[in-house]
């Protein structure tokens, strides 16, 4: 059975690197990506309105079991990457971070390592319910693009017990594509994320 993976990344800065990583993934047997869009499709959806883009991203995540964050310099602060992370948590997808700063762009340059996007988002408990939080200007705040409670039973990891935010990175693995031979190993990394989430 093919593993369907959603690839999340910063389009403007990292599409070339992300494309190369994605191609190494789909070249393997039984690997299918259903969440890789070129920047023109993404920008067209964004131009309509925010609700249209949110619908577009939710549809991209349909029928996927893993969300792979291809992380460059500024991926961690991109609003729509955070939305894809939030919807992946709600959906129950496995999550992993793959740093791609060491992958050369079309001009042959690598980039600076950015923060782990999964360390910029977390969960906390308030009034008996679980909510998403995001790190903004050094402070944890309730996640602004999805304010509803998340059923504890929908989480594949232990829910937080207090109002202290638990970063999503505490439950997910992170890898370096260039240094850890991602072209050969990304399939195993994605399978590990799926296994952790019971997917």
Residues of the chain below pLDDT 70? 1-3, 25-48
pLDDT of residue 52: 82
74 by DSSP, 3-state: which?
Answer: coil
Structure tokens at 86: 């939030």
Task: Give the neighbor-by-neighbor strand order of the sheet with 139-142.
Answer: 139-142, 129-136, 121-126, 166-167
Whose CA is closest to 21, among 175, 180, 186? 186
Whose CA is closest to 167, among 134, 122, 132? 122
Task: Give the neighbor-by-neighbor strand order of the sheet with 173-176.
Answer: 31-33, 3-8, 66-71, 94-99, 173-176
Structure tokens at 69: 């964050």
Q: 190-195 contacts: CB < 8 A, separation 24 or more?
A: 190/3, 190/5, 190/25, 190/66, 190/68, 190/94, 190/96, 191/3, 192/96, 193/66, 193/68, 193/94, 193/95, 193/96, 194/3, 194/65, 194/66, 194/94, 195/94
CB 100 within 8 A of CB 21: yes
Residues 6+ apart with CB under 8 A from 183: 24, 177
pTM: predicted TM-score of the whole model, two decimal places: 0.90
pLDDT of residue 44: 56
pLDDT, one tens digit per residue, over 98-121 is 999 999 988 999 999 999 999 999
d(CA 26, CA 188): 13
d(CA 113, CA 135): 18
d(CA 175, CA 157): 20
pLDDT of residue 40: 44
pLDDT, one tens digit per residue, over 144-166 is 999 999 999 999 999 999 999 99
d(CA 138, CA 14): 25
List of domains in the chain = 3-115+172-196 (3.40.50.450)
- β-bridge pairing 31-33 and 3-8: parallel
């Amino acid at each position: 059975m093919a593993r369907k993976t959603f690839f999340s990344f910063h389009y403007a800065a990292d599409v070339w690197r992300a494309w190369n990583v994605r191609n190494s993934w789909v070249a393997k047997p039984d690997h299918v990506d259903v969440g890789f869009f070129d920047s023109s499709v993404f920008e067209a959806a964004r131009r309509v309105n925010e609700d249209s883009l949110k619908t577009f991203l939710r549809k991209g995540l349909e029928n996927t079991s893993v969300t792979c964050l291809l992380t460059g310099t500024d991926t961690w602060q991109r609003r729509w990457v955070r939305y894809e992370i939030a919807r992946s948590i709600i959906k129950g997808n496995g999550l992993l971070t793959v740093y791609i700063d060491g992958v050369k762009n079309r001009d042959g340059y690598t980039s600076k390592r950015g923060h782990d996007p999964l360390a910029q988002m977390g969960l906390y408990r308030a009034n008996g319910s679980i909510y998403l939080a995001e790190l903004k200007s050094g402070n944890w705040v309730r996640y602004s693009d999805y304010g509803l409670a998340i059923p504890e039973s929908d989480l594949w990891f232990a829910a937080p017990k207090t109002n202290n935010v638990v970063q999503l990175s505490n439950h997910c693995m992170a890898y370096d594509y260039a240094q850890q031979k991602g072209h050969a190993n990304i399939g195993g990394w994605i399978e590990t994320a799926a296994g952790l989430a019971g997917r």
